[in-house]
Chain A
Amino acid sequence: MTYFNITSDEINVNAVIDSVIHPEAGAINSFIGTVREFTGEKQTVSLQYEAYPSMAEKQLRRIGEEINEKWPGVRTSIVHRVGKLQISDIAVVIAVASPHRAESYDASRYAIERIKQIVPIWKKEYWVNGEEWVGDQLEKTPYPEGKPEGETK
């Protein structure tokens, strides 16, 4: 049983990995995204993730479906945490299980890049001297075509 969840609890990494194990899989790749303290010279104190949970879970599931179309037989689980996180806390866990190792790397990379394009989750950074929603009203990360890439509707 795979997961596509938004949670405010600590993520159980092993449970995410266990959820993708299946007999045809010869490789499981797990990606763990953690809260980084230094971005260049800017020092993060903590950060806050917020989501539109019901839509975000649908979009995570969609990423799993896209992966299964691109790499048949690959099973995916993705769990993203929201709320206040401290340095080194786990924000996201992606597990993909595939018949062979090559597609497990490719699918894992694809999943994290798609999260950054289409999943409604936002990050507010609290720095030593200020706070800011990343990629928000300052338009640091604009949608070049007025919509997330890969959206055709």
Chain B
Amino acid sequence: MITVLFFAGQQELIGQEKVERSETNISIAVLKKKLMDEYPKLSLTNTMTAINEEYAEEDRLVKENDVVAFIPPVSGG
């Protein structure tokens, strides 16, 4: 299982702050596409991904027990 975290506006669109998923050994790009197919309002095209709290590129594979977080453009400060 993997845990997927959503923040800010994306959390509001999904209606949940996290979901547990069974996918492993797929790339972030493929995971993003699956989620966008499932949640038509969700756009992850302009969203960074962190795996286990480190930014990760689109081709990184998601492994068992990973925590995947989608990071929309940040606006702190």
Contact = CB atoms under 8 A, between A and B. Distances in A.
Given A52-B69, A151-B55, A153-B55, A135 B50 contact: no
B57 interface: yes
B45 to A, nearest CB: 9
B77 A120 contact: no
A142 B57 CA distance: 16
A135 B55 contact: no
Interface string A115-141: 111111111100000000111110111
B71 A115 contact: no
B5 A142 contact: no
Q: What is the predominant secondary structure among interface residues of chain A facing chain B?
A: mixed
Contacts of B7: 50, 52, 120, 122
A153 B72 CA distance: 17
A49 B73 contact: no
Given A116-B77, A134-B75, A148 B55 contact: yes
Contacts of B50: 52, 55, 120
Contacts of B69: 52, 55, 120
Interface residues of A, number: 38
A112 interface: yes
Given A143-B48, A147-B55, A120 B9 contact: no
A123 B73 contact: no
Contacts of A112: 77
Given A50-B8, A137-B9, A137-B10, A146 B58 contact: yes
Contacts of B38: none
Contacts of B56: 153
B53 A116 contact: no
B27 interface: no
B5 to A, nearest CB: 7
Interface of A: 33, 49-52, 54-56, 58, 80, 91-92, 112, 115-124, 133-137, 139-143, 146-148, 151, 153
A-B interface, 10 closest residue pairs, ranked by CB to CB distance from nearest:
A121-B76, A122-B8, A133-B9, A55-B53, A135-B73, A134-B75, A136-B9, A135-B75, A123-B75, A141-B73
